[in-house]
Structure formats: structure tokens, C-alpha cells
Amino acid sequence: MVRFCRGSVAVVVVGLILPFVAVVGCGGSGEERQADDAADDAAGTSDVSVLTNTPEIAGLIKAEDPDAVVATVNGQPITAGSVTELAQTNKIRMRAQGVTLPEGMDEQLMRAALEVLINAELMVQQARAEGIQLPTEEIEAEIQAARAQFASEEEYNDYLEDADLTAEDVRREAERRVLMKAFQALVVKGQRVDEETARQAYEANPEQFTEGEQMRAAQILVRSSRDDPQPKRDEAKKRIEEVHARLVAGADFADMAKEYSQAANAAKGGDLGFFPRGVMVPMLEEVAFRTEVGQISPVFETIYGFNILKVLEKQEPVLKPFAEVKPWLMVELARHKEGEALQARLIELRDSSTIEILDESLMEPEPGPEAGATAVTQ
């Protein structure tokens, strides 16, 4: 069974200047979505954000010797610096998406980064072997895309200086990216999906096209931290209880939210819009889904302060019609086929190449006796 999810990535691509490996899988978990929706990443084409310049990010992945060669692909070196930079960029990206990283994740990120860089090198080498041309305009477009990530030319040049990169380094990476894109385009050419295939996938996986129960609620928030002095917390609680008493007495919820709420959506009468389970802070979600439509909740506390909710609407689970999901589904199925084709081609290239991993910490751990398998050394 194919699982379809927006943001899933079948093919990982190396970005320009700051390499980025897209998170494989379907999303993470958000702590709070008060008004903003997270944008879906297009598979394998995510913009590369300048994330490694964020000093407050803890637990940086660094290389003791960035120039040390940790692997070779048909004799071409891959350095420790390129692996750690890619792993760190992905770590920051995952955190930004709300993914909780368990202990020992750095090692997995490093190994995953090395795999991406090996695949990238294989693609570049094969593209050159097949005589793929490098259109100047495409190279220039890649360079401009890199520059566009910075607010000004001065900021861009400062980054290059800090990263010890030259204009020639940037052009070389742009050429590699163009080669990889061209190689992928050749491999996936002709991978199309017809409507009947899409319909079969739709009928075989109805749960993946069903919108779950959703809730529309409005909130009033009086901000308070559990670390605040007790008198300040008492004052916040007193204020929200006074608001609650007025609501019970018949005051209009939207008017009270506009006047008293300290949430970002106060001007909208506290309207949170529709939301499913799993996107709000746990206590807010629990209160919302157990409160009846039209009812006002008791006062409750979250990490943001003291809250009151009014449930405005409930939407029962509903299966989206095929006509609605067909355009997206056909794209996803084609993308899945393209990913399989590229993966198969990369396996062929690996089998016919000499790949040496020189840093033992970047080798996949050998399976234990219970796995019933023998480790393969590259």
C-alpha cells in the first residue's frame, strides 16, 4: 500500500551552498497553531534557508576537521565538513517543523547526510559520463536563486566570506545541481499515472482521503506563565474568571475576546478557525473536543496562560470525493513512481561503483544476531 502525504519525499536533493536533506516521512507535530498554517514542502525542491547562522540553536553538529575525507565515490572525496553541514541543516529544519529529536539522532543524521552526498556524487558523475550539457542560463538561475535567499548583496557576500566560499565555489555547486536535475529528469522521464490507476489507489485507501473530525472554536486568553510571581498569576486568573462570569451572564463572546483576550486572534473575536486533533496544545484540544457546540468552557490553563473556549462548529469525518483529490493524487502517484525509478537507478550505480567509507562512525551499525542478516561492507 502506498501512503500518500503532503510533504513526503521520495527523492532527496542536495541544495546549493547550504545543502539540505528534506525530512523523510510525513510531518512532525506542532505545539500550537493559533492562526498560521504550516506550508507544505514540495518533494525534493524545498528552498534552502540560511539556517546554520542561527547561534541560539543548541547541540550543533560540528566536525573536528572539516577537511578530513570521510568517504570516496569512485575516488572523489566527501569531506567531514560537507557531511556535518548537511546534517546540521537538516537538524535545524526538523526542529523548526516541530519534530522532537531523540537521543542519538545526530549519528543518524550524519549517516543520512553521507548517503545523500554519495547519491549526489553518483548522479553528477553519471551525468558527466552521459555527456549531459550544462546550459549557461540554468547555471545562472541556480546562482541567482542562492543570492535571492539573502536580503542584500552585502549579506550574501558576507555569508560567502564567513563560509570561506568563493564565487567559483558557488558556480561549481550550481553546475553540480544542474547536472543532478538533468540526470533525475532523464531517469524519471515518462513516469506518468492515468486516471484509472489514481481511482484504484483512492478506492483502496479511503482512510487517507477522509478528513477527520474538526472543530471550530474561539478563545479568550489572558497570558500567564507558571514561572510568573504568584501575585501576577493570581491577577491573571482573577481577570479571566471575571470575563467568564460575564460570558455566563450573557455577554457576547466575540466582543469580550476583542476587549480582553491577549491572543493574536483577539481582533477576530478569538476565532481559531477549524482544526483537527493533534495541532493544538493538548489541554486546549481536550477542552475543545469535549465541549458541545454553542457552549462556553470553564477556565483552564495552558503553557500560554488562562483560557476560555467557545465551540462554534463541529465537522464530522467526511470522505473527500475522487474528483477533488484526483489532481493531487495523480501528482503524488507519479512522484512515487519517479522516486522508485530514481532509487532503482541509484542502486545500479552503487553496485557498479567503488564506494569507500573511511570514517567508521558513519558506517551503518551491524545488525545483531536476532536480525538474521549479515552486514555488508562497502
| One domain, residues 258 and 354 | no
Residue with cell 481582533: 267
Kindly tell me if the per-residue pLDDT of 222 is higher than 70. Answer: yes
| Mean pLDDT of all residues in 24-42 | 29
pLDDT in tens, 255-267: 999 999 999 999 9
What is the CATH number for 268?
A: 3.10.50.40
The answer to whether 362 touches 111, Cβ cutoff 8 Å, is yes
Same domain (yes/no): 341, 267: no
Instruction: Looking at the structure, tell me whether residues 242 and 289 fall in a common domain.
Output: yes
User: How does residue 366 score in pLDDT terms, banded at 50, 70 and 90?
Assistant: low
**Co-location of 106 and 254 in the same domain:** no
User: Would you say residue 246 has pLDDT above 50?
Assistant: yes
Same domain, 200 and 349: yes
Note whether 270 and 341 are same-domain residues. no
Same domain, 167 and 200: yes
Specify the number of domains making up the chain. Answer: 2
- Average pLDDT of the residues of the chain: 81
Would you state the pLDDT for residue 37? 29
| 174-187 mean pLDDT | 91
Which residue range(s) make up the domain with 263? 213-316
Would you say the pTM of this structure is higher than 0.85? no
Residues 375 and 346 in one domain: yes
* 15 and 102 share one domain: yes
According to DSSP, residue 252 is labeled: -
**CATH assignment at residue 7:** 1.10.4030.10
Q: In angstroms, rounded to a whole number, what is the distance separating the alpha carbons of residues 105 and 117?
A: 18
User: Helices in 14-166 by DSSP H: which ranges?
Assistant: 80-96, 105-129, 136-147, 153-162
Tell me the per-residue pLDDT of 108-146, one tens digit each, with 9 for 90 and over: 999 999 999 999 999 999 999 999 888 899 999 989 988
Residue 162 dihedral angles phi and psi, to the nearest 5°: -65, -35
My answer on whether 98 and 230 are in the same domain is no
What gap in Å lies between CA 309 and CA 307, rounded to an integer? 7
